[in-house]
Amino acid sequence: MAAERLIVVGGDAAGMSAASQARRRRSEKDLEIIAFERSPHTSYSACGLPYLAGGIIESEESLVVRSPQEFREKQSIDARVRHEVLSIDLENRRVVVRDLQSGRDQDEPFDLLMVATGTEPIRPPIERIDAQGVFGLSTLQSGIELRRALDTWKPKRAVVVGGGYIGLETAEAMIQRNVSTTLVEADSQPMNSLDTDMGEHVADALRKAGVEVVLGEKVEGLEVSRGRVSSVVTSRRTLTADIVVLGLGTRPQVEPAATSGLRLGSTGAIWVDDHMRTSREGIWAAGDCAETMNRITSKTVNFHLGTIANKMGRVAGTNIGGGDVSFPGVVGTAITKFGDLEIARTGLSSKEAESEGLDFVATSTRSTNKAGYYPGSQRVHLKVLAERPGGRLLGAQIVGGQGAGKRIDVFATALWNRMNVEDMINMDLSYVPPLSSLWDPVLIAARNALDELG
Amino acid sequence: MAAERLIVVGGDAAGMSAASQARRRRSEKDLEIIAFERSPHTSYSACGLPYLAGGIIESEESLVVRSPQEFREKQSIDARVRHEVLSIDLENRRVVVRDLQSGRDQDEPFDLLMVATGTEPIRPPIERIDAQGVFGLSTLQSGIELRRALDTWKPKRAVVVGGGYIGLETAEAMIQRNVSTTLVEADSQPMNSLDTDMGEHVADALRKAGVEVVLGEKVEGLEVSRGRVSSVVTSRRTLTADIVVLGLGTRPQVEPAATSGLRLGSTGAIWVDDHMRTSREGIWAAGDCAETMNRITSKTVNFHLGTIANKMGRVAGTNIGGGDVSFPGVVGTAITKFGDLEIARTGLSSKEAESEGLDFVATSTRSTNKAGYYPGSQRVHLKVLAERPGGRLLGAQIVGGQGAGKRIDVFATALWNRMNVEDMINMDLSYVPPLSSLWDPVLIAARNALDELG
């Protein structure tokens, strides 16, 4: 028997990163590691699900980074899928786990606990939401089911509910499968984490690709015919649909942590310090279910992104293994793609900067992804937010052609270093005509923001 | 008559950027601006020349950012092409200018002088270098001539001399025109501003594309048959060629500034301070002919890149116009592309770091440009140099598939901010499977360097 036992609640990005890092630093004899995962899969790429559904990625196995068997054989981590942790007893340091196949509950003691319960999809409180033909895209299982439905039913009309990242990527997947698609978004723009004008560029691209875009309408109900969904009813119209995909976002899955008495933060997610320690000694949390710090506002935030979950999990695992590292927080970077259009953001949007009470300029710039004269050069729209006065970079958004999106990382790095736009305008960025304009769009956008600051 | 007169020597990137900025701040009545340019063109994209030669860019006009006529009409800048400034008299503040068409010399007084004479191509001291069929690619005129030769002669065998940026881009152009091509490089690797292992990846790509790569051999002579070049003789072999392109790099064109008495710096280029002021009051210099500061070593350097020339020109022009801005220096970023392969560098290479006497690790990393499971995912090789101990980022190199190259800008931004690799590993970079691996290659490379630092 090992000296100590670590139980990991949730076997995906954060949980298994933590388990792996802990194992690297502590041997099997020193630390037994058991991970319980409710779904049938460990460590998979949730961001790959729309591409699996769309058929771009052929096999579901390719999305699995490491299977339970691999965890067992390569790292001596006992990963048990289809096991759900129902409750945590912090006092007696035990969890109750249900084996979802047999239905049996079991009591398991732990010395250390790692909470990585991730998220649960937001489902609108409407009737018949559980009807056949209504899908989500939150777990690998849900991706497999959507894929299977598309393959076998061959639906003709899809309604995608929600115009965020998952909504957009799902719409792209539907288009690729020649399913005629309507995207419904309650807000007045798709991608409402972007400023209005940037959201309009996204809406344009959706429409050009043949997606019907319905904005400012809430889904109020579903109609069912012969046991399967047949239409989506919004506040203003009824949309025929033989398949419906919900992409309404996610909320942190804080149970059973919250009930057990672990402190939640102001965002509603599990409170952790920069070492991923929760409010109770020896209990750690990381990933989508936990809070982190926004480096721009210095306030706690709760993001649901695989990149952040992996990083937080790594930090937790290193510390569980006896290390001493901290997670430096985030700046709010995200990216997606719709067809040829790349869409990215980092830092604060205008709405967010306003709600922080900041005085700022938000400057729009139009540029190109290659030298203007180079064949195939495509438009790039940028938006840069800078604080007034002083010019501290607050955020950036990019919507544009090939290669435009990843330029957000330059802004993210600039934000990471608290740069002013004035410090950015002469940065030594790379240029060759097939890959950039002479003044990289990032530099032009920073300069325009500086000009607007006056 | 205007209150003062500015003469600009050299009508390309730095010179015309300076002229434009000066004009923005000072009216026609206040400042007369005359620019003399030896070639027949102003403000063109020299970096576009290989693509013009290769036929990717159809018309030479598209490379001209602004013509003399446009300068005159839109900005009241008197840009005179085919005019060469032969000498500068600093004492009496006059220049002697030759009208290259009429052959007449003229004496022109100035109050302010902007020196932007750019570079001259390095030509090896071998016989018959001026033979028909031997081309360079330094001016728009030379690009037009090469293009015309390819169009009319339809050469079958090309030898490209030099394996740097221009050499690589020219080889690509030749391949695109179905000219069978040999690249000769005196060094043991192409792209010798990269580390050896990175250079090997480039050599591999050249060979795979069908380019014969001859390394470690100097060109010693040319053979001519019926008045036109027929072969290239290296230290070890004779290569048949009906067209030869020289891409041996450039040196700063410091005449007539040097003879006039303007101070040169240790690099051999014109000495300037961070405001682009030369050693004499009211005389400015910028661009390829002038020095700047390397922000990593804090030493003066002389780079020949359009991006830097434009930025320096802008700073000079703003100051000439009465502003007070400084140029913050460079980190040594450059990029190119050969076929699908993107090649980029920033900061110091291992050779450069060694010659600075630095103790450092140089860590190689292999990653992918998209999620590994995403179709079309391509390999990305990275190299990260970090100082020992402490881990200060010293440089980075990237050789890889689509989207790999521009990631150098993240390293450039990190260098700009004097980041340590440890500060980089958790940076909030963007991720979506079609555009990145979950841990962006930049983060993996930084982490590997940190691991190697121990």
SS (HEC) of chain A: CCCEEEEEECCCHHHHHHHHHHHHHCCCCCEEEEEEECCCCCCECHHHHHHHHHCCCCCHHHHECCCHHHHHHHHCCEEEECEEEEEEECCCCEEEEEECCCCCEEEEECCEEEECCCEEECCCCCCCCCCECEECCCCHHHHHHHHHHHHHHCCCEEEEECCCHHHHHHHHHHHHCCCEEEEEECCCCCCCCCCHHHHHHHHHHHHHCCCEEEECCCEEEEEEECCEEEEEEECCCEEECCEEEECCCEEECCCCHHHHCCCECCCCCECCCCCCECCCCCEEECHHHECEEECCCCCEECCCCHHHHHHHHHHHHHHHCCCCCCCCCECCCEEEEECCEEEEEEECCHHHHHHCCCCEEEEEEEEECCCCCCCCCCEEEEEEEEECCCCEEEEEEEEECCCCHHHHHHHHHHHHCCCEHHHHCCCCCCCCCCCCCCCCHHHHHHHHHHHHHC
Which strands, in side-by-side order, build the sheet including A112-115? A78-81, A31-37, A4-9, A112-115, A283-285
Position B436 scores a pLDDT of 97
Band (pLDDT 50/70/90 cuts) for residue A138 is: confident
Which of A45, A335, A438 is nearest residue B306 as measured by Cβ atoms? A438
Distance between A176 CA and the closest CA of chain B, angstroms: 15
Confidence of residue A104 (pLDDT cuts 50, 70, 90): very high
Q: What is the mean pLDDT of residues B399-416?
A: 98
Local confidence band at A8 (pLDDT 50, 70, 90 cut-offs): very high
Active-site annotation of A, residues:
47
> What pLDDT digit, counting tens, does each position of A159-175 carry?
999 999 999 999 999 99
Report helix, strand and coil shares of chain B as percent, to nearest 5.
Answer: 30, 30, 40
CB of B394 within 8 A of CB of B295? no
Q: Mean of the pLDDT values across residues A396-411? A: 98
CB contact under 8 A, B335 and A431: yes
- Flag whether pLDDT at A219 surpasses 90: yes
Residues in B 128-157 with any Cβ partner in A closer than 8 A: none
The answer to whether the CB atoms of A417 and B412 lie below 8 A apart is no
CA distances from B17 to A259, B61, B113 (A): 65, 19, 14
Q: Do A373 and B63 touch (CB under 8 A)?
A: yes
Percent of chain B at pLDDT exceeding 70: 100
pTM: 0.97
Q: Is the pLDDT of residue B213 over 90?
A: yes
pLDDT score recorded for residue B415? 98
Rg over CA atoms, chain B: 23
What values do phi and psi take at A5, rounded to 5? Answer: -125, 130
**Which of A414, A429, A438 is nearest residue B333 as measured by Cβ atoms?**
A429
At residue A124, the pLDDT reads 86
Q: What is the pLDDT of residue B138?
A: 87
User: Which residues of chain A neighbour B439 with C-beta distances below 8 Å?
Assistant: 307, 310
Which of B307, B374, B442 is opposite residue A438, by nearest beta carbon? B307
Of A47, A346, A419, the CB nearest to B432: A47
Among the listed residues A208, A244, A200, the one whose alpha carbon sits nearest the alpha carbon of residue A223: A244
Choose among A155, A266, A298, A417: nearest CA to B419: A417
A362 touches chain B (CB under 8 A): no
In chain B, residues with a C-beta closer than 8 Å to the C-beta of A406 are 403, 406-407, 430, 435-436
Does residue B333 belong to the interface with chain A, where contact is any CB pair within 8 Å? Answer: yes
Instruction: Give the tens place of pLDDT for each residue, B149-159.
Output: 999 999 999 99
Is residue B174 over pLDDT 90? yes
Interaxial angle between packed helices A13-25 and A306-320, expressed in degrees from 0 to 180 and rounded to the nearest 10: 30
In angstroms, the CA A42 to CA A78 distance is: 11
Residue B405 has pLDDT above 90, yes or no: yes
Q: Which residues of A touch B432 (CB under 8 A)?
A: 47, 169, 335-337, 405
The answer, yes or no, to whether residue B127 has pLDDT greater than 90, is no
Task: Determine which of A10-19, A136-145, B196-205 has the lowest per-residue pLDDT on average.
Answer: A136-145
**Whether B268 contacts chain A with CB within 8 A:** no
pLDDT per residue over A317-343, tens digit each? 999 999 999 999 999 999 999 999 999
Segment holding B368, helix H or strand E: strand B360-368
Are A5 and A109 in contact by the 8 Å Cβ rule? The answer is yes
Alpha-carbon distance B374 to A407, whole Å?
A: 20
> What number is the average pLDDT over the span A12-18?
96
Residue with tokens 């460590």: A43
Instruction: Return the DSSP state at B189.
Output: S
Whether A293 and chain B come into contact, CB under 8 Å, resolves to: no
Q: Compute the nearest-CA separation of A357 from chain B (Å).
A: 24
Instruction: Calculate mean pLDDT across residues A360-386.
Output: 97
A86 touches chain B (CB under 8 A): no
Q: With a cut of 90, say whether residue A127 has pLDDT above it.
A: no
Q: What is the pLDDT of residue B376?
A: 95
Q: Is a pLDDT exceeding 90 seen at residue A1? A: no
- List all residues of chain B from 299 to 318 with a beta carbon under 8 Å from chain A: 305-308, 310-311, 315
**Structure-model confidence comparison of residues A275 and B227, the more confident one:** A275
Tell me which chain B residues have a C-beta less than 8 angstroms from the C-beta of A439. Answer: 307, 310
**pLDDT tens per residue across span A41-96:** 999 899 999 999 999 999 999 999 999 999 999 999 999 999 999 999 999 999 99
